[in-house]
Amino acid sequence: MSTLLISHPCFLDHLTPIGHPERPDRLRAIDRVLEHERFQALERETAAMGTVEAIARAHPMAHVDRLYKAAPEEGLVRLDADTTLSPGSWEAALRGAGAACQAVDEVVTRKVSNAFVASRPPGHHAEHERAMGFCLFNNAAIAARHAQAVHGIGRVAIVDFDVHHGNGTQDIFWADPSVMYCSTHQMPLYPGSGAASERGEADTIVNVPLSAGDDGAIFREAVETGILPRLEAFKPELIIISAGFDAHARDPLGGLNLVEADFGWITRVLMDVADQHAGGRVVSLLEGGYDLEGLARSTAAHVMTLMTG
């Protein structure tokens, strides 16, 4: 079987203010690198439109309605200091959620081995009832709920290696024993959450914070000692990756010193866990990554590892 890449031109139409790090050029950089002949074996699909029903499994309808009503016909609307809506944002958000569910469908039904979704805006800061941190809907949470509701998956693990803690994913699954959320991230850093003591009501929140300046060796040790034993004990039936590449040493928004080989390594490690417990089922969703060269190289390492697993 093959690796599936899902994207859509509308993801370029979510606009942000001039100088904003979460900009359309991020996807253009990914598109360019994944057009290389090394990636010709990728299966490629355009993102389906997400449904309100799927989104409402992770967010209340009041949140969905607020974003729909706030979306402008022209110009930009700020939801907070970091998070913006443009005329193209609503479709991008819907197709981001749709692509996450589409990836789950293809992977769980064994049409492909695994999948990577190249979409924007990202999702892991979007809490149950609040858009924030560049994020509108929490695509990883929507994908997990879709897997459970539509495909009968019991235990889902979401593993997040973005430099920023996924406060939104933690918020949504804080009291849910069926979803394990594991995160490495720099701390202190936006959004301020993610201490190791934050474990959730069912002890299924696993935070392994790193410090500014930490490199790949420290990152790998943190994963091996802090996350892998918990994943092995949880025995997930599906692994969803919140693939943020802003822990790269080049990234302007973080202070970690990972390189593309580190992202290839964590991808391989998570695939091994999936092979053991989840029938190899891995769905990866793009989160952060704001230096275009670091983002492109890291994405290439991540996707190549998915392809050669």
Which residues are catalytic, by number? 125
The closest alpha carbon to 117, from 5, 9, 282, 24, belongs to 5
Sign of CA dihedral 194, 198, 202, 203: positive
Amino acid letter, 49: M
Residue whose token pair is 């479709």: 91
Decide if 286 contacts 30 (C-beta within 8 A).
yes
Strand partners, 215: 257
Rounded Cα distance, 84 and 52, in Å: 20
Q: Which helix (DSSP H) or strand (DSSP E) does residue 66 occupy?
A: helix 61-70
How many whole angstroms separate alpha carbon 112 and alpha carbon 180? Answer: 24
Q: In the sheet that 179-186 helps form, which strands lie side by side, from edge to edge? A: 43-46, 3-7, 114-117, 282-286, 238-243, 156-160, 179-186, 205-210
- Nearest to 160, CA basis, from 192, 122, 197: 122
